[in-house]
Amino acid sequence: MTIKIGILGYGNLGRGVESSIRQNPDMELVGVFTRRNPEDVKLITADAKAYHIDEAIKMKDEIDVMILCGGSATDLPVQTPEYAKFFNVVDSFDTHAGIPKHFDKVDASSQNSGKISIIAVGWDPGMFSLNRVYANSILTEGKDYTFWGKGVSQGHSDAIRRVAGVKDGKQYTIPVESALESVRQGNNPEFTTREKHLRECFVVADEGADKGKIENEIKNMPNYFADYDTVVHFITEEELKRDHSGIPHGGFVIRSGRTGINKENMQIIEYSLNLDSNPEFTASVLTAYARAAYRLNKEGQKGCKTVFDIPVSYLSQESNEELRRKYL
């Protein structure tokens, strides 16, 4: 008895989920649902099929969990509450400020359908959030830090590409090593934006474009770059393709807190990720939580959950006895 998975949306994240399912022998990909013409969509999984998104609801009895792989800006705010009426669903909704409202809407659908939904699954929100709550529950008096990177920021890469004279470009967010070290020493520093992260840009300029002007425009772009120390490198199209086509990311969640009758002891908890592929890692977290959604629903539970509500044992293929024996 495998867990039958549907994937809704087939971009980087959807393909990552497909790949992750192949690493989870208790799961099976039933179908991929897309807005494109399904005939044009080539899956990697031999025995799965691509369908038009309009076919999804008809297949509600053939799919145990639908993993929603659309974007947080316009797709998920509509799709998750909608598909939660018919399926157990998992999404990676990542607009932090919008989570309470998204939760309420999705919960209403899932309570009604008697299904489970799990939202905001991934690494931030997701594993980073989880680690923040563990660390805050243990060290009740302390300070939280999050650093992102080294990794590609899609938004900042897009911003570079909108500059006149830029043909293509990629931006890396990089944590400032000395800032990280200061946090790890337990100094409880306060940082300005500039002190925490650097921005490094790799830019392909149009032929004959004024590179000085491009560099200046990038470095002074409000919101995106003006508050940071930014480094701009001009490279060729070939170099961009050869050296910067990956989607790495990661980061650090650190809590430093004090314990002891006189708060005399510093305690530091650190969680970090170093990811060659941001979407594939997010996809792997989604897949693990799809297993949890399936199990919770089998137990008769319903409604919207987050990573905070689910014991880790629900994510694992191994039995509770095995987990205790092997990992405790």
Residues of this chain, 88-127, that bind a second copy according to CB under 8 A: 96, 99-100, 103, 120, 125, 127
Count CA atoms within 13 Å of residue 248 on its CB side: 15
Interface with a second copy (CB under 8 A), residue total 71
159 binds a second copy (CB under 8 A): no
Is there binding between residue 132 and a second copy (CB under 8 A)?
yes
* Residue owning tokens 């680690």: 131
- Check binding of 174 to a second copy (CB under 8 A): no
Minimum distance, C-beta of residue 180 to a second copy, in the bound complex (Å) = 12
The closest alpha carbon to 216, from 206, 226, 207, 208, belongs to 226
Residue type, 320: N
* 47 binds a second copy, rule: CB under 8 A: no
Compute the half-sphere exposure of residue 4: CA atoms within 13 Å on the CB side of its CA.
Answer: 13
Q: How distant is the alpha carbon of residue 275 from its chain centre?
A: 11
Q: Mark the segment that binds a second copy (CB under 8 A) among 172-180, 192-200, 208-216, 301-309.
A: 301-309
Q: Does 277 bind a second copy (CB under 8 A)?
A: yes
Which stretch, 83-91, 155-163, 166-174, 275-283, contacts a second copy (CB under 8 A)? Answer: 275-283
Which one of residues 160, 174, 269, 293 is an interface residue with a second copy (CB under 8 A)? Answer: 269
Q: Which stretch binds a second copy (CB under 8 A): 48-56, 66-74, 164-172, 283-291?
A: 283-291
Q: Which of 6, 16, 151, 251 binds a second copy (CB under 8 A)?
A: 16
Contact 17, 287 (CB under 8 A): yes
Please tell me whether residue 243 binds a second copy under the rule CB under 8 A.
no
What six digits make up the tokens of 274?
Answer: 């170093």
The pair of three-digit structure tokens given for residue 288, joined into one six-digit string: 């693990």
139 lies in the binding site for a second copy (CB under 8 A): yes
* Contact with a second copy (CB under 8 A) among 73, 133, 164, 226: 133
Stretch that binds a second copy, among 52-60, 66-74, 128-136, 202-210 (CB under 8 A): 128-136
To the nearest whole angstrom, how small is the minimum distance from the Cβ of residue 7 to a second copy?
14
| Residue 70 DSSP code | S
Strands 88-91, 65-68: pairing is parallel
Q: In angstroms, rounded to a whole number, what is the distance separating the alpha carbons of residues 225 and 165?
A: 18
CB of 218 closer than 8 Å to CB of 228: no
| 319 contacts a second copy (rule: CB under 8 A) | no
Query: CA 323 to CA 328: how far, in whole Å?
Result: 7
Q: Which of 298, 290, 299, 280 is nearest to 317 (CA)?
A: 290
- Report the nearest approach of a second copy to the CB of residue 165 (Å): 33
If binding is defined by CB under 8 A, does position 63 make contact with a second copy? no
